[in-house]
Structure 1
């Protein structure tokens, strides 16, 4: 199960990386076309916005798994190891609760959009749900990851330091 889970996270992170490459290419091409007064790529701004949103959603679970998210370590470093472990568990519980509530809402919005057949009208017309599927998926994976982190922290306290990588983020 762990290999499948890590594979899903890695696959989504790779898609996020490919979206970043897409952004670099499209924005660069758009800049060159405008520089030489050759017009622009229809929908490039619109799809760049969508790509930035999708990139953030798809990369978030992988970043949390690898402890690559932002953290203020000044306060954590000042705490004892035991207090630090408690604070990290508390923040994971808060993250779990926030992700679970957001997941419930996001899934409802996604379902309404899919069932309602809604569209986004801009340079290019796009079905709304095509931009929303990432949110419930990412939030579900964040819920799983927060549960995994809490489980590890409660079951194997010595491994929590490895999980957090606090020393690496200082």
Structure 2
């Protein structure tokens, strides 16, 4: 099983900064979730007691759910909490698992960096053209979209860290295998 703790092999000063940013984003996602709970309760009370539910509450909650998804994704990846189908992996040895984990982490990194670039370009275009989201409230669409490139940038960096962790684990596995082989030859 891969080491779930973050490695300190990628620039030592960058790791704590990355961890703090990811933790800050996760905390903000938690705050948004609590705000959603309070706003939905407010909506229900206004509808039940006064028969006049405020229409803006549902829209604000939709925006907050959208944002909290992108705020929480890097933290979830760091904790390795994403869904994984490992039926095939359970049949392989540790070395093969580490090689596959390195490959999937590098693929995740490349895809995340590409999506960060693409989303950043789209966000900038929406900002320059001042495109709004028009529902009950009129807000700049770029404000919502801005969370996407930042989240994918953090996801890419976290995938890079995980690839590095798996590379280290692969080296350790190879060293242990060599040690066992040497021990068997010698004894």
Name the TM tier (shorter chain): 0.7 to 0.9
Instruction: Return structure 1 stretches of 4+ with deviation > 6 angstroms.
Output: none
Q: Does 1:22 align with 2:28?
A: no
Aligned residues: 160
Q: Does 1:67 align with 2:80?
A: yes
Corresponding residue to 2:51 among 34, 38, 42:
38
Give 5+ residue unaligned stretches, structure 1.
Answer: 161-170
Give 5+ residue unaligned stretches, structure 2.
Answer: 1-12, 174-187
In the other structure, the counterpart of 2:104 is 91
Q: In the TM superposition, what is the alpha-carbon distance from 1:23 to its structure 2 partner? A: 1.1
- Give me the TM-score of the superposition, normalised by structure 2: 0.79
Instruction: Tell me, yes or no, if the aligned pair for 2:33 and 2:68 is still in contact at 8 Å.
Output: yes
Q: Distance in 2 between matches of 1:17 and 1:108?
A: 28
Q: Distance in 1 between matches of 2:102 and 2:47?
A: 51
Instruction: Tell me, yes or no, if the aligned pair for 2:95 and 2:170 is still in contact at 8 Å.
Output: no
Q: In the TM superposition, what is the alpha-carbon distance from 1:52 to its structure 2 partner? A: 0.8
- Give me the TM-score of the superposition, normalised by structure 1: 0.86
Q: Distance in 2 between matches of 1:9 and 1:159?
A: 28
What is the DSSP-based 3-state SS (H/G/I as helix, E as strand, rest coil) of the residue aligned with 1:120?
A: strand
What is the DSSP-based 3-state SS (H/G/I as helix, E as strand, rest coil) of the residue aligned with 1:36?
A: helix
Q: Distance in 1 between matches of 2:18 and 2:68?
A: 19
Instruction: Tell me, yes or no, if the aligned pair for 1:33 and 1:39 is still in contact at 8 Å.
Output: yes
Q: In the TM superposition, what is the alpha-carbon distance from 1:127 to its structure 2 partner? A: 1.0
What is the DSSP-based 3-state SS (H/G/I as helix, E as strand, rest coil) of the residue aligned with 1:69?
A: coil
Q: Which has the larger radius of gyration?
A: 2
Instruction: Tell me, yes or no, if the aligned pair for 2:98 and 2:169 is still in contact at 8 Å.
Output: no
Instruction: Name the CA shift for 1:45/1:85 in 2 (closer, same or farther; >3 Å).
Output: same
Q: Distance in 2 between matches of 1:143 and 1:41?
A: 39
In the other structure, the counterpart of 2:26 is 13
Mapping 1:55-134, distance limit 5 Å: 55-134=68-147
Q: Distance in 1 between matches of 2:110 and 2:141?
A: 27
In the other structure, the counterpart of 2:60 is 47
Instruction: Give the RMSD, CA atoms, in angstroms.
Output: 1.8
What is the DSSP-based 3-state SS (H/G/I as helix, E as strand, rest coil) of the residue aligned with 1:34?
A: helix
